[in-house]
């Protein structure tokens, strides 16, 4: 009889996230910055346009970009709202340093944990995130912390992935890799991870528990060019640097990693056309207000 699984505490999950994003994970994402900026640009634009519609016709005075990474979305927000005070926040020091290196003026870059950071009396008109809020150990507490810094008429808007099976851009490389390397541990619906907000019911429960009003969900379906226009070899390289396949291949014997890379390349050939390797992506655009401000 196998030993019972020991569930991780919220503190342990947050500590693991801190270690990953300030270690190898953060370093890889810095190296892949230009590629991810390009691959996810249309997602960023759609999410920011969605946020702009939610806060219109009043231009925001203060904006917080949670999980801003190397700053691509923060810079886009600044371009759209040039007179707003904008803060880009991320857990990862390597990524915040990359964001600062952009040399953009009028943006405050903050390396901090969104689950615990106290903004004091500061109030934001918009709290925004592109794929930066699905990794909290205790998401209800984390969103309650964020809500405390949201102005009374403010908006929360974020993008998160829908179900793993609806996202071949992630699943196709992983399935191919796992013909040679072990499958990563299965994430349960309540576990922190890129697809932990796939279930709208769970997101609704979290946000209502954190003091937000009834969240609204809109679907965004598009294709992501995981090659950056540079063909299957580039797509295979990037898929083994970041994402689910890269994590499955981490610390595996070199022979298995080599075989997994080749398998990923074979799987991606069917999707290549004119240098692009387009794979479907399925996203939620989620928005919410203070509970007392909800209609």
pLDDT in tens, 117-164: 999 888 999 999 999 999 999 999 999 999 999 998 899 999 999 999
Nearest-angstrom CA–CA distance, 35 and 234: 10
DSSP type of residue 252: -
pLDDT at res. 292: 60
Q: What is the chain's mean pLDDT, rounded?
A: 91
pLDDT at res. 15: 85
- Domains of the chain, residue spans: 10-293
The string of DSSP letters for 84-152 reads: SEEEEEES-HHHHHHHHTT--SSEEEEE--TTT---TT--EEEEEEES-SS--SSHHHHHHHHHTTEEE
Most confident of 19-33, 52-66, 79-93: 79-93
Strand partners, 11: none
Q: Percent of the chain at pLDDT above 90?
A: 74
Q: Given pLDDT bands bounded at 50, 70 and 90, which one contains residue 218?
A: very high
Q: What is the pLDDT of residues 231-262, one digit of tens each?
A: 999 999 998 888 889 889 988 999 999 999 99
pLDDT at res. 155: 95
Give, to the nearest 10 degrees, the angle between helix 254-268 and helix 168-177: 140
Instruction: Say whether 34 sits in a helix, a strand or coil.
Output: helix
CATH architecture of 10-293: 3-Layer(aba) Sandwich (3.40)
Nearest-angstrom CA–CA distance, 195 and 135: 9
Give the residue among 268, 283, 181 at the shortest CA–CA distance from 225: 268
Instruction: Say whether 240 sits in a helix, a strand or coil.
Output: coil
The string of DSSP letters for 176-221 reads: HHTTTSPPPPPPPTTS-STTTT--HHHHHHHHHHTTB---EEEEEE
Q: Are 211 and 282 in contact (CB under 8 A)?
A: no
Q: Given pLDDT bands bounded at 50, 70 and 90, which one contains residue 191?
A: confident
- 11 pLDDT more than 90: no
CA triple 217-219-223, angle to 5 deg: 150
The owner of tokens 């290549």 is 272
CA triple 178-257-268, angle to 5 deg: 60
Which one has a higher pLDDT value, 273 or 243?
273
């Amino acid at each position: 009889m196998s030993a019972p699984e020991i569930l991780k505490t919220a503190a342990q999950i947050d500590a693991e996230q801190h270690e990953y994003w300030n270690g190898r994970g953060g370093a890889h994402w810095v190296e892949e910055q230009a590629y991810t900026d390009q691959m996810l640009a249309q997602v960023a634009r759609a999410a920011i346009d969605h946020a702009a519609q939610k806060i219109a016709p009043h231009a925001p005075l203060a904006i917080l970009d949670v999980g801003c990474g190397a700053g691509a979305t923060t810079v886009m927000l600044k371009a759209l709202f040039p007179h707003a005070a904008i803060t880009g926040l991320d857990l990862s020091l390597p990524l915040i340093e990359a964001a600062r290196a952009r040399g953009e003026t009028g943006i405050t870059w903050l390396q901090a944990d969104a689950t615990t950071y106290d903004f004091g009396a500061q109030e934001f008109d918009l709290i925004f995130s592109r794929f930066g809020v699905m990794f909290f150990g205790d998401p209800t507490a984390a969103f309650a912390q964020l809500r405390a810094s949201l102005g009374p008429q403010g908006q929360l808007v974020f993008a998160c992935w829908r179900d793993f099976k609806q996202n071949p851009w992630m699943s196709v490389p992983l399935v191919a890799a796992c013909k040679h390397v072990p499958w990563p541990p299965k994430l349960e619906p309540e576990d922190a991870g890129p697809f932990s907000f796939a279930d709208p019911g769970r997101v609704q429960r979290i946000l209502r528990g954190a003091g937000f009003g009834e969240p609204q969900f809109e679907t965004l379906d598009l294709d992501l060019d995981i090659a950056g226009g540079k063909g299957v070899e580039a797509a295979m390289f990037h898929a083994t640097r970041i994402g689910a396949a890269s994590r499955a291949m981490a610390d595996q014997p070199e022979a298995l990693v080599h075989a997994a890379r080749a398998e990923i390349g074979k799987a991606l050939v069917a999707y290549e056309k004119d240098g692009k390797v387009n794979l479907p992506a399925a996203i939620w655009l989620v928005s919410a207000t203070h509970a007392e401000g909800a209609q």
